[in-house]
Amino acid sequence: MIEITLVVNGDRRSLRVEARRLLADVLREEFDLAGVHIGCAQGSCGCCTVHVDGVPRLSCLTFAVQCDGKSVRTVEDIGGPAAEHALQQAFRRAHALQCGYCTPGFIMTLAPFVEAMATENRLPDENEIRDAMSGNICRCTGYQGIVEAVRQAIAERIGTGAPA
């Protein structure tokens, strides 16, 4: 067992973990963050994406011990309990989710992309949006709504169009 300190969604906590515990499991089991979904545990589906020190990372390919002293952010924190982040709201409007299993992963993967595009003040084309989300798998939506939600969230942030 190794003693580590994690700052998860702003809360600092020390805990003892086995080296082999995946960050995804520790977030779900020790921090009760059920928004961290584990679809494949192989890096293929993107469902478990969280931010480690601000950077998207697959929590199924990360050991909790690697994150000692680091800050971790999950979907629970990104838009608060009411899911108020611009991207979450756009997901609702554009019917970008059905069962919702993949949604936290898509939000955590794409929120920084929306920010990056807003900083560049640029509305990406559909191809670029599909590239940005290519690491995430959704079984339900056919992706069209997700592409639209991302487009709307960026358009809203750069002020080039009212959301549909």
Ligand X SMILES: Cc1cc2nc3c(=O)[nH]c(=O)nc-3n(C[C@H](O)[C@H](O)[C@H](O)COP(=O)(O)OP(=O)(O)OC[C@H]3O[C@@H](n4cnc5c(N)ncnc54)[C@H](O)[C@@H]3O)c2cc1C
Contacts with ligand X by CB under 6 A lie at 43-44
48 interacts with ligand FES by CB under 6 A: yes
22 interacts with other proteins by CB under 8 A: yes
63 interacts with other proteins by CB under 8 A: yes
Please identify, using beta-carbon distances, which residue of 79 and 101 lies nearer to ligand FES: 101
Written in H, E and C, the secondary structure of 83-118 is: CCCHHHHHHHHCCCCCCCCCHHHHHHHHHHHHHHHH
At residue 50, φ and ψ (nearest 5 deg) are -130, 175
Reading the block at residue 38, the tokens are 């584990």
49 interacts with other proteins by CB under 8 A: yes
From 16, 55, 82, 159, residue interacting with other proteins (rule: CB under 8 A): 55
Distance of CA 92 to the CA centre of its chain: 16
Residue 3 has a CB neighbour count (10 Å cut-off) of 10
Contacts of 43 (CB under 8 A, 6+ apart): 58, 60, 61
From 25, 76, 77, 148, residue interacting with other proteins (rule: CB under 8 A): 25
| Part of the chain binding ligand FES (CB under 6 A), chosen from 69-77, 78-86, 118-126, 132-140 | 132-140
117 interacts with ligand FES by CB under 6 A: no
Least gap, CB of 19 to ligand X (angstroms): 15
